[in-house]
Amino acid sequence: MYRLGAAYEPLERLMFETTDMETGEVDAEIVNALCAMQGEATDVALNAATLYREAQMQVAMYKEEEKRLADIRKGLEGKAETLKRAIDTFCKKTGIERAESVSARISYKKNPPSVKIDNEADIPKEYWRVKLEVDKTAIKEAILSGKTVEGAHLESAVSIQIK
């Protein structure tokens, strides 16, 4: 692709430079070379698009595998958390505060205090966080309705579709 793209532009420029402006006559050899190059370029582009589609299929396959593995991991995390709570309950019932073996150690530590909210409505405003973010949908609607929004504009783009 890079080789053909780099070769195509100078040849196209040469065709325009050598065109007779009065008659519109072009060099047939240059036109034939461009046509041949265009056919080859189409083949190269289609082959690259095929590779792109294969890469997309592999990405989809890996995403599906990631989801499957994440589901397995979440299940194991749930089992581990359930087991940890059961061990905690058992140790508290039996008075075990510390135990150690070659493969595991059980102990309790005091955690730092954490805030528990009893009623959010009673919390003074000074302890609230407010996150400001730009509302692009509102800006788009405003511009489309004819308003000027400083610091923003609408921009249309073209994207390639490979199916």
Q: State pLDDT tens for residues 64-101.
A: 999 999 999 999 999 999 999 999 999 999 999 999 99
Where is average pLDDT lowest: 36-40, 53-57, 92-96, 137-141?
36-40
* Predicted confidence band of residue 1 (pLDDT cuts 50, 70, 90): low
Decide: 2 and 24 in contact? Cβ < 8 Å.
no
Q: Taking 90 as the threshold, does the pLDDT of residue 59 lie above it?
A: yes
What does the pLDDT look like over 107-122, one tens digit per residue? 999 999 999 999 999 9
Q: Read off the pTM.
A: 0.54
Strand, helix or coil at 80?
helix
Q: Which residue has the higher pLDDT, 42 or 94?
A: 94
Q: What is the pLDDT of residue 41?
A: 77
Q: What is the pLDDT of residue 30?
A: 74
